[in-house]
Structure 1
Amino acid sequence: MRSLHKFLLFQVLACLGQSAHGSKIIHGDKAPENSMQFMVSVQNDKGHICGGFLVSEDFVMTAAHCDSNHVSVVFGTHNLKDAGGKKRKIERRYKPETYHSVGTGGDIMLLKLSEKAEMDNGVQLIKLPTSEIQLPDNALCQVAGWGLTRTGGEVVDDLRVVDVSVINPNICKNQWPGLPDGVICAGGYGTNKGFCQGDSGGPLVCNGMAVGVVSFNRNRNCNYPNAPNVYTDVSKYLPWIKNILNHTKI
């Protein structure tokens, strides 16, 4: 099993390369202004590096592999050049003790904000599952983010969203030797829709809930992904999430 995990990690790193951070929604559309008001841009002093989403007034959820030199989050806008976006500094980061690398699972992180996000018409929370879930094959969900829209394309500032279908876990395991437990596969794999090379930390949204966190896919071909896109299954980490949200308040 260790050798399988090494193989998987190699494939993941080959995918991430030097473009591990950022957001690249492939063959999607510009998100309507009154939608996805839970979306967050995780940023460093140079700008956007990862996606995320508001799960409480003082916590953002993102991917554990996004833990780098980010210092703040921006929310309340779909356009990252919009001066009306609201910013909060990151006070603390929380990752599961089981997380070691992208390929071994546990790729989820909570960011505690230095000040609460005020809810209004442009800022909303997204619901999380209340218990473990098993998504049906081919269930239609959405993933969103900022950035490139195709291989070698131009960076965009407007939030984009694309529909993706859930892939049977057994099919996903066949395509990803050594796939860790606690993941969901959706998009990619024979379609031309999904995320690519670091649409990291954004949510997989099914029936109005954030059920997954963008984790990894394979290779640099964003136009025709040849393996399923992989997300961390939020429902598998509910005790950990609840413990942090309930005991770490501003």
Structure 2
Amino acid sequence: MWLLLLLTNAFVLLPWAGAGRIIGGKIAAAHSRPYMAFLEIETYSEPIHCGGFLIRPDAVLSAAHCVDIKGIVNVTVILGAHNIRRQEPSQQRIPVVKRVIHPEYCPDDFKNDIVLLKLEKKAKINDYVQCISIAKKKERVGEGAKCNVSGWGLTSLKPSWSDVLMEVELEVQNEKRCHFSSDYKRQSMICVGDKYSEKAAYKGDSGGPLICKKKAHGIVSHGYDDLIFPEVFTRISYFEPWIRKQLKKFSRKIIPCFPLSD
């Protein structure tokens, strides 16, 4: 059963009830992306999975649509994972105690598709679990920039599963390519991927980071069934002031994390 939210002909990059992989990508070297988070979202009906990434020992960024669902019982973040089906010694399972969805998030058109998750306890920073820096307010990636996306989402339009973390290199596109949708907002979104490369993030990769120039610049948000390429990412730099404000509410103390460069 596909877990979808529909917007005309759009698909939201929500996961299937199991782990898959990125389209056109490759298996990531084990633990090479220690900022990656796997979200287990328990609902009254069936579990949902999404991606996310650690930006502070007590905070994970993800897509709002992952947790803007009725019937959520618990959300658990798994850090330090490579094979999500195994109980690897490197893994840290930490419950989420607070979900801060952007106040202007709109589920109908995915505007402001961002959520900050507060962890029950600080993650233990080590070789397997580290933070990634986020883009600052004025930092933008332009057309042609080569970026990386990782996740446990589907590998094709038909179900094809892999339990290990996958990665793919994608290119930032001219924003006109995403103007087929009147809902595209250049200030808060990034247009990524083209049909010629046949590479993309897909269902199950929602919430994962778009890593450009050693920083998280985007969050996997949504795409379109009949136009798999390009797809839309939330632009982190636009929300950086909001993120900083929420982090101060989490803790006024400076919490070092030794961010990892990609």
Q: Per the shorter chain, which TM-score range?
A: 0.7 to 0.9
Q: Which amino acid aligns with 2:134?
A: L
Query: How many angstroms does 1:132 deviate by?
Result: 2.2
- 1:158-194 Cα offsets, whole Å, 9 max, x none, are 0000000000112322x32331341001114443101
* Contact 2:191/2:231, CA 8 A, preserved across alignment: yes
Aligned to 2:147: 141
Aligned to 2:36: 39
Secondary structure of 2:224's counterpart equals: coil
Secondary structure of 1:103's counterpart equals: coil
Counterpart-to-counterpart distance in 2, 1:147 and 1:233: 20
Bigger drift between 238-247 and 68-77 goes to 68-77
- 1:58-103 Cα offsets, whole Å, 9 max, x none, are 0000000001325211011211023122100010000111112151
* Contact 1:28/1:193, CA 8 A, preserved across alignment: yes
Q: 5 Å matches for 1:99-248?
A: 99-101=105-107, 103-173=109-179, 175-181=180-186, 182-219=188-225, 225-248=227-250
Bigger drift between 229-238 and 47-56 goes to 47-56
Secondary structure of 1:26's counterpart equals: coil
Aligned to 1:72: 76
- 1:33-76 Cα offsets, whole Å, 9 max, x none, are 24110000000346661000001000000000001325211011
* Contact 1:189/1:229, CA 8 A, preserved across alignment: no
Secondary structure of 2:7's counterpart equals: helix
Counterpart-to-counterpart distance in 1, 2:110 and 2:22: 24
2:8 equivalent to 1:10: yes
2:86 equivalent to 1:82: yes
* Contact 1:140/1:164, CA 8 A, preserved across alignment: yes
Aligned to 1:63: 63
**Poorly superposed stretches of 4+, deviation over 4 Å:** 45-48
List alignment gaps of at least 5 residues for structure 1.
Answer: 1-7
Q: Residues 197 and 128 from structure 1, CA distance in 2 versus in 1: closer, same or farther, beyond 3 angstroms?
A: same
Counterpart-to-counterpart distance in 2, 1:196 and 1:34: 21
2:20 equivalent to 1:20: no
Counterpart-to-counterpart distance in 2, 1:206 and 1:113: 26
Aligned to 1:95: 101
- 1:119-164 Cα offsets, whole Å, 9 max, x none, are 0010000011123223121110011100321221322110000000
User: What is the Cα-based RMSD across aligned positions, in Å?
Assistant: 2.1
Counterpart-to-counterpart distance in 1, 2:220 and 2:167: 13
TM-score, normalization by structure 1: 0.86
Counterpart-to-counterpart distance in 2, 1:214 and 1:137: 17
* Contact 2:153/2:202, CA 8 A, preserved across alignment: no
TM-score, normalization by structure 2: 0.82
Bigger drift between 193-202 and 157-166 goes to 193-202
Counterpart-to-counterpart distance in 1, 2:32 and 2:111: 30
Q: Between Structure 1 and Structure 2, which shows a larger proportion of helix residues?
A: 1
Aligned to 2:3: none
Aligned length: 234
* Contact 1:217/1:228, CA 8 A, preserved across alignment: yes
Secondary structure of 1:194's counterpart equals: coil
List alignment gaps of at least 5 residues for structure 2.
Answer: 1-5, 254-262
Q: Which amino acid aligns with 1:212?
A: G
